Structure 1
Amino acid sequence: MFGCCLLQQKNLRVLRTTNMLALLTESLYISNPDEAAILNKVAFIEDIAQGHVNGSVKCFSLKKKKVDENQYHTVIKGDTVPKLAKEYGSKPKAGTSLMMTMSLRVTRSCM
């Protein structure tokens, strides 16, 4: 079905119980000291992440969508769930919390 992907049949729970298209990858092993050292390098992690994006796009024949910036809110340090709920005319669910240490874009439909 996906010519670009190496398909393997294993008796793994994640494969048996997932009922959707999925891509399972293994980049390196932290149990290998040489590979664990490489995983400490931010540039390498970014390259791996970009490789996963490129592979997913190819494997699933994904097409880039036009993004309406008005559909997103950038969550920044200091934002709280009650503050965002008030801004968007919503009420937070009991027990919902938010602690931001970096910026995050979320769809407005999630709020």
Structure 2
Amino acid sequence: MKLYLDPGHGGADPGAQGNGLNEKEIVLDIASRIRTILTNNYENVEVNMSRTSDMTKSLSQRTNEANAWGADFYLSIHCNAFNGSAQGYEDYIHSSLSDSSTTAGYRNIMHEEIIDVNQLRNRGKKKANFHVLRETSMAALLTENGFIDNNHDADLLRDASWRTRVAQGHVNGLARAFNLQRKQEESDTLFKVIAGSFKSRDNAEKREGYLRSNDIESFIASVTISGERWYRVQAGAFTNRENAKNRLSRVKDAGIEDAFIIAEDA
């Protein structure tokens, strides 16, 4: 599978701005993580990025490059901005496409997998006449990963571990949509179900107790993120991702809506 991966904006165009963050930097980081996860873990995947540094590149240059290369899928990574109050995740296919189109089918899978891990409000699946969706000769999707001018979303966007989870969500969607096969040597990956991260150990213990009261085994592990100690409540670790998703469903059914899956080397 040939993926053209397009982190939006760059160079003279910073994209959306807010809370001390620039869209061009956030989306380049997410896209770079997508490329790394894909190429390290999956067979027969080629990734061509529109930019790998802070450079200016026109929309026409991006789509012409993807078309000339013969990409199978065009994935454009963005963040949103509005008035500080809007928040959440949404994605777009071209407005001319039907809900039964191949592109819509890919998008449905991608949307499900990304929402599964990104801890953002689900703003839904949308359509638009964006250049990168209109001028591409292959299936194309544009994802809007949170609102950079919203305090809640910005706190996530500046967290490197969150950006890894979002990248993993995109990869999970691509793997399902295109039936990608994992490299054999990566079979030791663990899929961990995280049922909450807290700065207060007392709060973590309350969450652990709640899970146990619902017959869901869990434990607390401390992690350091950006120099800060967090107490992470883990509700299982699995070598099979489907088993992890089944456990995640149990956790969410118990009322823990912000639970998610992370993939780590065993």
Question: TM-score w.r.t. structure 2 length?
Answer: 0.22
Question: TM-score w.r.t. structure 1 length?
Answer: 0.48
| More contact order relative to length (CA 8 Å, sep ≥ 6) | 1
